[in-house]
């Protein structure tokens, strides 16, 4: 006998949702641009951070620009052009997944055997003119580089009004509210990383998309600035953060960090509707917590996985994402000094008024968003006594799956039962005591 497993990986929240992260997009002339960035990779060890930003930008390349606050003046060697494929790799490796099982024939005799689910335990283990004008406004061009297809300027500023004016004078239409959003970073003496596309250099790449930007810096603060990403966004924003650390799970310190419901049996028809299920489940959890929580979707050591949604990233891939502490002793299949935490947050200016502050914890307990489909045995109750007992328990299991799905997503229980074709197998619903869910 063997247990058949099928892993279905859900590509979360692509272009159908608008996303924001730690900077904002500004447009030249009258172009109206919205922040479409959805993914950030943070690599952190000690006070050293490497940030990789994937821009899902759609529009004229000449209109693209990005403004991100950074804690220090960045040298040219601290900035790099990343690989889009690595974002897909780390997304696939950490993505919430379905696991599919097929019930065994109850009429066959086996030696001592646990429920199949038990076999899948989590193991522990610009120019001079621009510069001169800038000085009058309290803005200093600290550095200028052309790296890959991007022209990059590092700015410092004394006042938000001056910085806003400088950007406007240099051809950028600033979103309404930028002045107020920039002020807290200026008070913290942060610098501003400003990147726009060099069309001539971009044409040489032959690519139709913008590659990720990476930059390295040192700061005692382990944080991600998200407030600027809200000022020109439509509605609530979604952000996926992949944090690569050395020792333990990473969590947010100034907002609640919660693990999403996981390891739950759900009806097998969800195999065809996993995208709709996961979105509804996530929506339900966001609403339940008043859009004031950050959710952990995955935490694991990068050397192995169980079950695997995709192969772990190789040492070369990890180093390209900024893991600078890897030695020669790295080997897949066992523990390595790299942990990956996947965090998902949906936010608005009202629900997340502060930037995200992080800490690396000592927690090494593995976690993954994992949802189980169990296919029923296709035999009949008349085949043996064990089969009769099996179908009796199967009816209860199907009812539990239906109710679990309804609670996770808010979907109508009657509709779920109908899709499951429960018929007479469904169990009568007992009304919960009034106090049962008071403290959930």
Domain boundaries along the sequence of the chain? 7-99+122-372, 377-440
Residue 297 CA to residue 95 CA, distance in Å, equals 8
Q: Given this model, what pLDDT does residue 121 score?
A: 44
Which of the four pLDDT bands, split at 50, 70 and 90, describes residue 132?
A: low
The CA distances from residue 14 to 11, 192, 241, in Å, are: 7, 28, 14
Which of the four pLDDT bands, split at 50, 70 and 90, describes residue 33?
A: very low
β-pairing verdict for 39-45 and 237-245: parallel
Residues 6+ apart with CB under 8 A from 115: none
Beta bridge partners, 151, equal 146, 196
Closest CA to 150 of 191, 86, 210, 63: 210
Between 70 and 228, name the one with better pLDDT. 70
Decide: 35 and 163 in contact? Cβ < 8 Å. Answer: no
Which of the four pLDDT bands, split at 50, 70 and 90, describes residue 431?
A: low
Over 50: is that where the pLDDT of 124 sits?
no
Element (H, E) at 213: strand 213-218
Which of the four pLDDT bands, split at 50, 70 and 90, describes residue 110?
A: very low
Please, what's the b/e burial string for 80-90 (b: 16 or more CB within 10 A of its CB; e: otherwise)? bebbeebbebb
Mean pLDDT of 359-371: 94
Q: Given this model, what pLDDT does residue 25 score?
A: 45
Which of the four pLDDT bands, split at 50, 70 and 90, describes residue 21?
A: very low
Residue 286 CA to residue 236 CA, distance in Å, equals 11
Which two tokens mark 304? Answer: 């192995």
Q: Given this model, what pLDDT does residue 115 score?
A: 45
Of the given ranges (16-25, 333-342, 350-359), which has the lowest mean pLDDT?
Answer: 16-25
Decide: 13 and 102 in contact? Cβ < 8 Å. Answer: no
Share of the chain above pLDDT 90, in %: 48
Hunting for tokens 């993505």 — which residue is that? 95
Which of the four pLDDT bands, split at 50, 70 and 90, describes residue 393?
A: very high
Which of the four pLDDT bands, split at 50, 70 and 90, describes residue 56?
A: low
Reduce the DSSP state of residue 48 to 3 states and report it: strand
Decide: 75 and 143 in contact? Cβ < 8 Å. Answer: yes
Closest CA to 408 of 314, 232, 286: 286
Over 60: is that where the pLDDT of 336 sits?
yes
Of the given ranges (18-32, 134-148, 215-229, 328-342), which has the lowest mean pLDDT?
Answer: 18-32
Decide: 266 and 96 in contact? Cβ < 8 Å. Answer: no
Mean pLDDT of 26-44: 53
pLDDT, one tens digit per residue, over 257-274 is 999 999 999 999 999 998
Over 90: is that where the pLDDT of 428 sits?
no
The neighbour count for residue 198, using CB atoms within 10 Å, is 17
Q: Given this model, what pLDDT does residue 165 score?
A: 87
Share of the chain above pLDDT 70, in %: 77
Over 60: is that where the pLDDT of 156 sits?
yes
Residue 172 CA to residue 155 CA, distance in Å, equals 15
Q: Given this model, what pLDDT does residue 226 score?
A: 84
Eight-class DSSP state of 106: T
Over 50: is that where the pLDDT of 424 sits?
no
Which two tokens mark 228? Answer: 């600027």
Over 90: is that where the pLDDT of 170 sits?
no
Give the number of residues written for the chain: 440
Over 60: is that where the pLDDT of 204 sits?
yes
Q: Given this model, what pLDDT does residue 20 score?
A: 42
Beta bridge partners, 26, equal none
Hunting for tokens 């919205």 — which residue is that? 34
Decide: 83 and 209 in contact? Cβ < 8 Å. Answer: no
Q: Given this model, what pLDDT does residue 178 score?
A: 79
CA 248 to chain centre: 18
Q: Given this model, what pLDDT does residue 331 score?
A: 58
Q: Given this model, what pLDDT does residue 176 score?
A: 67
pLDDT, one tens digit per residue, over 401-420 is 999 999 999 999 999 999 99
The CA distances from residue 75 to 185, 217, 343, in Å, are: 20, 10, 29
Element (H, E) at 79: strand 79-81
Decide: 67 and 228 in contact? Cβ < 8 Å. Answer: yes
Q: Given this model, what pLDDT does residue 301 score?
A: 94
Which of the four pLDDT bands, split at 50, 70 and 90, describes residue 63?
A: confident
Over 60: is that where the pLDDT of 125 sits?
no
Residue 147 CA to residue 82 CA, distance in Å, equals 11
């Amino acid at each position: 006998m063997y247990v058949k497993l099928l892993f279905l990986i859900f590509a979360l929240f692509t272009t159908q949702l608008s996303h924001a992260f730690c900077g904002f997009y500004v447009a030249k002339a009258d172009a109206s641009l919205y922040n479409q960035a959805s993914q950030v990779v943070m690599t952190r060890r000690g006070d050293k951070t490497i940030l990789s930003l994937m821009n899902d930008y759609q529009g004229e390349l000449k209109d693209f620009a990005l403004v991100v606050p950074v804690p220090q003046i960045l040298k040219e060697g601290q900035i790099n052009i990343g690989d889009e494929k690595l974002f897909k790799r780390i997304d696939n490796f950490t993505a919430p997944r379905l696991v599919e099982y097929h019930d065994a024939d109850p009429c066959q005799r086996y030696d001592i055997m646990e429920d199949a689910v038990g076999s899948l335990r989590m193991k522990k283990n610009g120019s001079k003119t621009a510069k001169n004008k800038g000085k009058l406004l309290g803005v200093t061009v600290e550095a200028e580089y052309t790296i890959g297809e991007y022209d990059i300027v590092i700015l410092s500023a004394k006042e938000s009004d001056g910085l806003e004016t400088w950007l406007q004078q240099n051809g950028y239409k600033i979103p309404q509210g930028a002045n107020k959003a920039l002020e807290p970073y200026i008070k913290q003496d942060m610098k501003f990383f400003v990147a726009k596309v060099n069309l001539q250099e971009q044409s040489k790449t032959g690519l139709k998309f913008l590659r990720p930007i990476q930059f390295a810096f040192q700061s005692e603060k382990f944080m991600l600035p998200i407030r600027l990403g809200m000022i020109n966004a439509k509605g609530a924003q979604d952000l996926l953060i992949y944090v690569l650390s050395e020792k333990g799970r990473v969590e947010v310190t100034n907002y609640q960090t919660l693990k999403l419901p996981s390891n739950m049996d759900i009806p097998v028809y969800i195999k065809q509707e996993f995208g709709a299920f996961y979105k509804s489940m996530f929506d339900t959890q966001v609403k339940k917590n008043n859009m004031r929580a950050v959710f952990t979707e995955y935490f694991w050591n990068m050397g192995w996985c169980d079950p695997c949604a995709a192969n772990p990233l190789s040492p070369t891939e990890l180093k390209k994402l900024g893991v600078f502490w890897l030695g020669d002793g790295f080997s897949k299949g066992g523990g390595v000094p790299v942990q990956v935490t996947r965090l998902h947050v949906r936010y608005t200016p009202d629900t997340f008024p502060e930037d995200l502050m992080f800490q690396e914890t000592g927690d090494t307990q593995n976690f993954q968003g994992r949802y189980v489909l169990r296919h029923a045995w296709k035999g009949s109750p008349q085949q043996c006594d064990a089969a009769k007992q099996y179908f009796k328990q199967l009816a209860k299991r199907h009812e539990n799956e239906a109710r679990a799905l309804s609670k996770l997503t808010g979907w109508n229980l009657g509709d779920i039962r109908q899709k499951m074709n429960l018929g007479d197998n469904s169990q009568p619903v007992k009304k919960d005591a009034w106090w049962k869910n008071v403290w959930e």
